[in-house]
A = this chain, B = another copy of it.
Amino acid sequence: MSTAYEQTGRAHQKQRTRMALVAAARDLVALGGRPPTVGEAAEAASVSRTTAYRYFPTQRSLLLAAHPEVVATSMLPADVGDDPEERVAAAVRGFMAMVVDSEPQQRTMLRLSLEAGTDSRQLPLRQGRAIGWFIEALEPLSDHLGADGVRRLAIAVRAVSGIESLVWLTDIAGLTREQAVELTVWSAVALVRRATQEA
């Protein structure tokens, strides 16, 4: 049933229209608090609302497409050493800095990922590359823990950081952003320490 609308005939024109919509939505999201309506994004892209719905069947899908991609391929500074705890601390700090920096968008994405409901089709949402960063930071431990152990630990590290932790630590626990980041780093290091001591 689902050849994507853009993948058939007159591809260039459609790609331009799609890009215009995504760019407009991205600008509007970055601009302010409330996510833009489909109509607003369409108007900003000089496209009719009907056409916008042809490309993105839901507001959700449009906002997901408008989510800025993070380009960094590594979170580690160049001069980081071989100490796993130090490397993870740096990676978590970098990751959290990115999260804090784009907090409104991150919150929007988290909200969208929760609106999926349990039933419907779920769009490739929020697949983070954070795990990759943490696996890289944990590379010196791969002999000790093995690939599976490293991956498991990276998952655990990601679970204590990210926008979800930031939201809870600031909104509910009442921490400042700086305190939240520091607590996250402290927790991540604790995980690494336990993993190394057990191996």
Contacts and interface: CB of A to CB of B under 8 A. Distances in A.
Contact of A167 (B107, B164, B193): B164
| Main SS class of interface, A | helix
Contacts of A71: none
Contacts of A33: 117-119
A165 B175 contact: no
Contacts of A168: 158-159, 162, 164
A135 B127 CA distance: 34
Nearest to A122: B171
B126 A115 contact: no
A190 B152 CA distance: 14
A114 B119 contact: no
Count of identical protomers in the assembly: 2
The CB with the most chain B CB atoms within 10 A, among A119, A152, A172, is that of A172
Nearest to A110: B114
A131 B152 CA distance: 26
Contacts of A119: 33-34
Interface stretch (A37-45, A49-57, A62-70, A181-189): A181-189
A98 interface: no
A173 B155 contact: yes
Contact of A193 (B104, B155, B194): B194
Interface in A137-182: 152, 155-156, 158-160, 162, 164-165, 167-169, 171-173, 175
26 contacts: A33-B119, A107-B114, A111-B111, A114-B167, A125-B171, A126-B172, A152-B183, A155-B173, A155-B175, A156-B187, A158-B168, A158-B173, A159-B160, A159-B168, A159-B173, A159-B183, A159-B187, A164-B165, A186-B194, A187-B187, A187-B191, A189-B194, A190-B190, A190-B191, A190-B195, A194-B194
